[in-house]
Copies of this chain bind each other. A is one copy, B any other.
Amino acid sequence: MANKVVAQLIVQEITPLAADHFLMRFHSDTGLLPVDAGNFAQLATGDPPAVFLRRPFSIFDADTALSMITFYIKVVGKGTAQLTGQKPGTRLTGLYPLGNSFTIPTNARNALIIAGGSGVAPFLLLSRKLKKQGTHVTFLIGAKNREELVLTDVFQEYGDVETSTEDGSEGFKGLVTEHPILSRKGQLFDQVYSCGPVPMMKAVSRWALKNDIPCELSLENTMACGYGVCLSCVTGTTEGNRCVCTEGPVFNHKLLTWQT
A-side residues, CB < 8 A to B, are 46, 48-50, 82
Contacts and interface: CB of A to CB of B under 8 A. Distances in A.
5 contacts: A46-B48, A48-B48, A48-B49, A48-B50, A48-B82
A43 to B, nearest CB: 16
A49 B49 CA distance: 9
Contacts of A50: 48
A82 to B, nearest CB: 7
Nearest to A48: B50
A56 B82 CA distance: 26
A178 B13 CA distance: 57
A118 B182 CA distance: 71
Contacts of A82: 48
A50 B47 CA distance: 8
Nearest to A45: B48
A121 to B, nearest CB: 26
A78 B48 CA distance: 10
Looking at A46, A48, A50, A82, the one whose CB has the most chain B CB atoms below 10 A away is: A48
